Amino acid sequence: MRIATIVFLLLAFSSFFAASCSPGYEENATIQVIDGMGRPIPNATVQITYQVDQTTGKGYATTAPRYTDSNGIAAFTFRNQEVLQDRVDCEYTIIVTYDNKKAVQKATVNEHGAIITVALDVFALNIQAVDQNGNALSGAEITAGGVKKAAGDDGKATVLLGSGRVNVTLKYGQGLVSREIAIQNDTDYYYQVGVYDLLLHVVDDRNAPLVVNATIGGKTFQTDENGTVSVKKLLTAKPAIKTNYRGLERSLDADLAVQDEYYLVYDLHAPMISNMVASEDQGRIALDMTVIDEGLRASGLAQDGIKVRYSFANTDYVAPVFVKAKDRYETLLGNIGSNGIVEIFVEAKDAEGNIRDLRGYFSVVYVNETT
């Protein structure tokens, strides 16, 4: 009888420790995800795989993913549906992923504390965002490993990341900069970028303001009624600048590290031709004229921008043009040789390609001089 008692007690003892939970258990699991320094990891993905039952063949299920809060915590409640004690599985699996890291940890119903801690091999990337003068970029948006953080008043933000190389973007004002940073352990990075302002005036050659669409650093703006657009916080000293006015495109090479105010000019007016006077010069006809490319910001006459041709007696001719004085030009026609009407064509073109044409006539009358 003594042996039987001992055997019975041993069997009972073994049965008691066979499972730490009962069939159909309900488990409340609070998971906290931390890094190697014990710091909580927000936005980590947590899932739990647990037994539903064995008897009816439902097997195991995995919860929908949940994301840890600012304290690194995600809470779960799940229920087992097994009815037989010897078939219940009290162990479940916790799967945690963050950035490029993954941790898998086992837990047992009724055999853990109020919080189950899971550690990931991730590190702190401490960013300090500053401009070219070392001033903090308050509110700059830092993105790394899919995590976005806003820099504080001191320009600082911390992102937890797995080891390896990671693209870290800084968004501030009108610009976005991306750099690759190597992470092996906790890393401090001084993220310095140039921050520049631009004041752009778009005018015509007479300094009249123009309302245009302007593409600056990849973004589209429109000048106001004064022909001006002001763009703040560009993250490059040499932004691509293009404007479009009635289908006419212009580009501007600006260096904001040198100056922040620029004029972009559309020369819309052709040169003016006036004061045309014909005279005789040693038997040839001389044509004197004034040609001015007016306007405060005019592009000026093009090289060889004045062309003269004339027609007489059904024959066309080209006449050379000479500079006579400032804004004054002279052309010499050939010896006409007889009375008649000369048709004259004058073309004046500026450096922008604007052309002014003038067409006129004058009569040639030869008079016999007597002494």
Q: Is the pLDDT of residue 312 over 60?
A: yes
Confidence class of residue 10 from pLDDT cuts 50, 70 and 90?
very low
Judge if 18-119 and 122-192 fold alike in CATH terms. yes
Distances 319 to 37, 190, 271, 310, 346 between C-alpha atoms, Å: 89, 69, 20, 7, 10
- Residue 225 Cα to chain centre, angstroms: 27
Assess contact for 174 and 231: CB atoms under 8 A. yes
Helices marked H in the chain — which ranges?
Answer: 2-16
Query: Which backbone phi and psi does 55 adopt, to 5 degrees?
Result: -60, -45
Task: Supply 339's token pair.
Answer: 């009375």
pLDDT tier, 116 (very low <50, low <70, confident <90, very high otherwise): very high
Q: What is the CATH number of domain 272-364?
A: 2.60.40.10
Burial of 292 (0-12, 13-18, 19+ CB in 10 A): middle
- Determine whether domain 196-266 maps to CATH 2.130.10.10: no
Q: Class assignment of domain 122-192?
A: mainly beta
More confident residue, 284 or 171: 171
User: What is the pTM for the complete model shown?
Assistant: 0.69
Q: What is the pLDDT of residue 100?
A: 83
By the 8 A CB rule, do 234 and 174 touch? yes
Query: Angle 236-161-149 (CA atoms, 0-180°, nearest 5)?
Result: 50
- Domain 18-119: homologous superfamily in CATH: Carboxypeptidase-like, regulatory domain (2.60.40.1120)
In the sheet that holds 228-234, the strands lie side by side as 228-234, 196-204, 261-266
Question: Is the pLDDT score of 109 beyond 80?
Answer: yes
Domain ranges of the chain: 18-119, 122-192, 196-266, 272-364
Residues 193/179, Cβ–Cβ less than 8 Å: no
